């Protein structure tokens, strides 16, 4: 069971990284200035009241004790009580996660065909005009920050052409398609931003596969061009793209913060942003931790898929 | 040196990138001459579209967008460049130490690198920025640098590991040179192309991250930068009233800087990595195949 062992090793490092992230997230809040009681009561509150509240919340205890309690609670799914909402954090996180997932889904629906398609076309025409055009377009869009392209898209398609609503939130009770329609404009900046990178990876894979000996053999033994491309080139070229797609999820999460703020979508990004502005530490820590968990999990999923598709990766990982 | 310049000159992309970046830097440098008015001064009515008097229109507060654009380039570029250099220095040193010493040092540093790498950057930036409170440019710089060195550290580490056991390093060790001298005098010069790529990439990242933070409202809103211009435009509902000039000016600035630097990096990449220049391999095989067929037919 080669894959079994790889998988368990993978899960081990995954848990270790998640644990490290939890430490980092928690201690970032403790080392830097920012007193929990002071935040809740405001700058004009009585010093004694602040100290009392800190004691009641356990914020006056040693950092390690606090971390231990927080971490064991997180393990049981209890992320603590929000300071600004005065309610458990977990339901808020879950609700916002659903909205972010819908947006991420729309992004992927556009991103995968566009990025992979452009990359394959560029790779098959490497060095020609269309290749240079695709690569340049990819780099240009990739370099523009998503909130900048988001603002420009809002002005052009939302304001001038009136094709899309300028908010990312559909009215209550809207159906599946209407909800999706409202999410198209928010999705576009990230699609444009990431498509270039994915196209570049796909292009590199295609070029490498076309220069490989097996492709030369396939050509020289007289196979048809279409058959060569679909059966020999693309099958080998697309494995790295899948891994890249998985790791880009992390980048997407970062981008979601900005996009959600821009379009007023109450997703995970906006949750983190609002919690940061209100200095709602439990909410903030939970949000960042969930984001990190999604990132780590998707990277791991990418590795597993890669191992399933490419026997060489399997052997390398187990040796 | 001469050869390097020629190589750079032949690359049209690099020249275009260089021109864009230099022009923007000059604009920032000569801001007092190009826009003599104070960017914080109220010079006209609220949200005036572009006119001859105000080339880029005015903001909601009646401030001149052109003056803000020119003056805002100063902190945006300065913080971006300084942070980029800082990120590169941090990543390079950590990568060199991890790669050269190996063993437990490497294992520890690698674990930290991976942990920082897995946290999505923007949320971490927001986390740190919120704990630090209202942040000035130096704090923004530190926060960005502390969260984004792992990419450079990883690249440097693997390159250092490849160099560690080469003859000239072993010889230096035999002679009894101290470790710091081997790292900085023997190994570091070999990493110069990599560091170049790292610097340009880091500057791009730093400018984007800085403006993102400011756009999200973590900067000082009174400080005129491209990021705070966008933040103020967004907050004064520039989109809803249709004041596109208020948003387009800083957005174009950020996009231009990014484009210029990316064009430069493209060329660095190609110089350091000739494989990227590979031509169309399949058409070469197909041409070979056609030739062969023709020869076979001729022989028959």
The mean pLDDT of chain A is 76
* Residue B242 φ then ψ, to 5°: 80, 20
* Residue among B114, B119, B244 minimizing CB distance to A155: B244
**Residues of chain B contacting A216 with CB distance shorter than 8 Å:** 285
Instruction: Give the A:B interface size as CB pairs under 8 Å.
Output: 165
Per-residue pLDDT, B89: 92
Per-residue pLDDT, B280: 47
Per-residue pLDDT, A255: 77
DSSP code at position B187: I
CB-based contact A207 B278, cutoff 8 Å: yes
**Residues of chain B contacting A29 with CB distance shorter than 8 Å:** 127, 131
**Residues of chain A contacting B111 with CB distance shorter than 8 Å:** 16, 20
pLDDT digits (tens, 9 = 90+) for A214-261: 888 888 887 777 888 787 788 777 877 877 787 777 677 777 888 888
**Residues of chain B contacting A140 with CB distance shorter than 8 Å:** 259, 262
Contacts of B277 (CB under 8 A, 6+ apart): B270
User: Which residues of chain B are modeled with pLDDT < 70?
Assistant: 1-11, 43, 46, 52-56, 59-62, 118-120, 131-136, 238, 242, 270-289
The sign of the dihedral angle between the CA atoms of A262, B248, A192, B193 is negative
* Residue B170 φ then ψ, to 5°: -60, -45
Q: Is ipTM over 0.85?
A: no
**CB < 8 Å & 24+ apart, contacts of B160-167:** B160/B95, B160/B96, B160/B98, B160/B99, B160/B100, B160/B187, B160/B191, B161/B99, B161/B102, B163/B187, B163/B190, B164/B99, B164/B100, B164/B102
* Residue among A126, A233, A277 minimizing CB distance to B130: A277
How much is the pTM? Answer: 0.76
Q: State the pLDDT confidence band at A40, using cuts at 50, 70 and 90.
A: low
CB-based contact A211 B248, cutoff 8 Å: no
**Is pLDDT at A318 greater than 50 in this prediction?**
no
CB-based contact A148 B254, cutoff 8 Å: yes
3-state secondary structure of B208: helix
Nearest CA in chain A to B217: A277
Q: State the pLDDT confidence band at A168, using cuts at 50, 70 and 90.
A: low
Provide the CB-side half-sphere exposure for B89 (13 A, CA): 8
Interface of A with B in 39-98 (CB under 8 A): none
DSSP code at position A92: H
* Residue among B204, B216, B255 minimizing CB distance to A258: B216
* Residue B30 φ then ψ, to 5°: -100, 30
Nearest CA in chain B to A249: B120
Cβ density class A271-300: b for 16+ within 10 Å, e for less: bbbbbbbbbbbbbbbbbbbbbbbbbbebbb
**CB < 8 Å & 24+ apart, contacts of A63-70:** A63/A27, A63/A30, A66/A26, A66/A30, A67/A23, A67/A26, A67/A27, A67/A30, A70/A26, A70/A285
CB-based contact A28 B259, cutoff 8 Å: no
Per-residue pLDDT, A317: 47
Per-residue pLDDT, B278: 46
* Residue among B118, B280, B286 minimizing CB distance to A295: B118
Domains and CATH numbers, chain B: 2-299 (1.10.3720.10)
Per-residue pLDDT, B288: 66
Per-residue pLDDT, B85: 92
The mean pLDDT of chain B is 78
Tell me what the mean pLDDT of segment A60-68 comes to. 72
**Residues of chain A contacting B232 with CB distance shorter than 8 Å:** none
pLDDT digits (tens, 9 = 90+) for B199-237: 888 898 888 888 888 888 777 777 788 888 888 877 777
pLDDT digits (tens, 9 = 90+) for A66-118: 777 777 777 777 777 776 666 777 788 888 888 888 888 888 888 888 888 88
3-state secondary structure of B211: helix
Domains and CATH numbers, chain A: 4-88 (no CATH), 90-317 (1.10.3720.10)
**Residues of chain B contacting A222 with CB distance shorter than 8 Å:** 289
CB-based contact B258 A143, cutoff 8 Å: yes
Interface with A, mutate which of B109, B130, B142, B238 (most A CBs under 10 A)? B130
* Alpha carbon distances (Å) from B67 to A130, A187, A309, B41: 40, 33, 56, 10
**Residues of chain A contacting B132 with CB distance shorter than 8 Å:** 32-33
Nearest CA in chain A to B146: A28
**Is pLDDT at A48 greater than 60 in this prediction?**
yes
């Amino acid at each position: 069971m080669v894959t079994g062992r790889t998988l368990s090793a993978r899960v081990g490092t995954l848990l270790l990284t998640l644990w490290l992230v939890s430490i980092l997230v928690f201690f970032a809040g403790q080392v830097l200035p920012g007193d929990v009681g002071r935040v809740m009561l405001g700058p004009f509150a009585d010093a004694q009241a602040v100290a009392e509240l800190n004691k009641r919340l356990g914020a006056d205890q040693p950092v390690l004790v606090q971390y231990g309690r927080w971490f064991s609670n997180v393990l049981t799914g209890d992320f603590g009580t929000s300071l600004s909402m005065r309610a458990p954090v977990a339901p808020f996180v879950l609700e916002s996660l659903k909205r972010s997932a819908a947006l991420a889904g729309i992004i992927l629906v556009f991103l995968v065909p566009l990025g992979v398609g452009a990359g394959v076309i560029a790779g098959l025409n490497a060095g020609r005009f269309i290749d240079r055009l695709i690569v340049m377009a990819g780099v240009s869009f990739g370099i523009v920050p998503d909130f900048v392209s988001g603002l420009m898209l809002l002005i052009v398609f939302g304001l001038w052409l009136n094709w899309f609503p300028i908010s990312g939130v559909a009215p209550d009770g809207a159906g599946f398609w209407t909800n999706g329609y409202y999410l198209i404009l928010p999705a576009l900046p990230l699609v444009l931003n990431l498509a270039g990178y994915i196209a570049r990876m796909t292009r590199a894979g295609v070029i490498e596969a076309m220069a490989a000996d097996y492709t030369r053999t396939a050509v020289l033994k007289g196979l048809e061009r279409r058959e060569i491309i679909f059966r020999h080139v693309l099958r080998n070229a697309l494995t790295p793209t899948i891994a890249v797609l998985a790791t880009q999820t992390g980048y997407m999460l970062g981008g979601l913060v900005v996009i959600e703020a821009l379009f007023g979508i109450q997703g995970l990004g906006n949750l983190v942003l609002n919690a940061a502005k209100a200095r709602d530490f439990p909410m903030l820590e939970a949000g960042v931790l969930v984001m990190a968990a999604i990132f780590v999990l998707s990277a791991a999923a990418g590795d597993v898929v890669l191992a399933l598709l490419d026997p060489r990766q399997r052997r390398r990982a187990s040796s | 040196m001469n050869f390097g310049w020629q190589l750079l000159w032949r690359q049209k992309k690099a020249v275009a990138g260089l021109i864009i970046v230099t022009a923007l830097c000059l604009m920032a440098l000569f801001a007092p001459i190009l826009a003599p008015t104070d960017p914080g001064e109220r010079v006209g009515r609220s949200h005036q579209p572009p006119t001859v008097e105000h080339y880029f229109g005015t903001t909601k507060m009646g401030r001149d967008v052109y003056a803000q654009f020119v003056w805002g380039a100063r902190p945006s570029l300065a913080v971006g460049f300084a942070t980029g250099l800082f990120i590169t220095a941090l990543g390079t040193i950590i990568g060199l130490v991890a790669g050269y010493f190996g063993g437990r040092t490497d294992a520890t540093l690698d674990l930290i690198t991976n942990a920082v790498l897995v946290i999505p950057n923007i949320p971490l930036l927001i986390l740190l920025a919120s704990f630090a409170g209202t942040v000035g440019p130096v704090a923004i710089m530190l926060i960005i640098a502390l969260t984004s060195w792992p990419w450079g550290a990883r690249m440097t580490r693997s390159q250092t590991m490849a160099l560690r056991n080469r003859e000239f390093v072993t010889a230096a060790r035999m002679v009894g040179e101290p470790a710091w001298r081997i790292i900085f005098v023997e190994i570091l010069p070999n990493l110069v192309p990599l560091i170049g790529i790292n610097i340009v990439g880091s500057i791009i990242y730093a400018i984007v991250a800085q403006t993102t933070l400011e756009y999200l409202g973590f900067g000082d809103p009174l400080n005129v930068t491209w990021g705070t211009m966008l933040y103020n435009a967004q907050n004064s509902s520039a989109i809803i009233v249709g004041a596109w000039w208020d948003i387009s000016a800083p957005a174009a600035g950020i996009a231009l800087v990014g484009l210029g630097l990316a064009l430069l990096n493209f060329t660095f990449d190609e110089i350091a990595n000739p494989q990227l220049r590979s031509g169309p391999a399949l058409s070469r095989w197909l041409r070979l195949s056609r030739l062969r067929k023709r020869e076979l037919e001729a022989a028959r």
